[in-house]
A and B are shown apart, each in its own frame.
Chain A
Amino acid sequence: MNATCTSRRLGRGLMVVILWMAAFSAAGEEYLGRDEFLDLACGDSQPEMHTLWVTEEMRTAATAAVGWMPNALRLRYWQEGSCTAWILEDIGKIKPITLGIVVSGNRIERVEVLAFRESRGWEIRYPFFTGQFNGLTLADDGYLSQPIDGITGATLSVRAVERVARLALWLDAQVQS
């Protein structure tokens, strides 16, 4: 084997690496689709979709209780018995983060990051962070029943997940009652 032949092989190898990186980058910002999330949501049974119409009173109450409410007249959620699944968005720093929250028996059962569009803070999608929410409830002051450990460099994303988790617990209480 001569040097030119080896050079060609190295060149081809480099091209393969670059193409692999291109494919990896093109995988995008969406980690989990709606159907995949709902498959994980309420055990073996598939939850049914419902619509929650947001009245002005409800918006005022949510803002007083947990500090915010999305700017829409209706929200979709999925329910199976006492288990509800919510797909909600909140802004991290500049761009919205899409989160899936499963609530069962007034407690958070699962938090999943469906889409993350910011350039930093994507670590919030890992189970070491999302797992902290499991079992938490909404305290009387509108905050979560236990503090959440932050992630350095992802403070705003962490806050967004907390806000969405609090809202999901509050919304769950509304539809359950």
Chain B
Amino acid sequence: MLPSAIALLGGAMGRTLPSATQILQQNEEALSRFRRALRRSDQQAFDDLFTAAHQHIAEAAYASHLMPFEVSLLCMLLEEHKTVMRLQDEISSLKSKNA
């Protein structure tokens, strides 16, 4: 099971709860065996997903969701969808040029 905020209670000085960054990092560590088992090219994609989640730490913290990693997964989806949208735009502009 992935570490949730409650499981990480304590240890962080001056705070009652771990920060959003700590939770994401610990989740990444918890998945290190999964990452190791991946092919090298897949590892790159895996790292990109976590980079995407890191980009939205502030938003994830503000959401203060009880299962923070769910929000991190959504952050990954968000960046994926942004890429899809950008590619769609490019395709349609290429299409209109060729037409």
A binds B: no
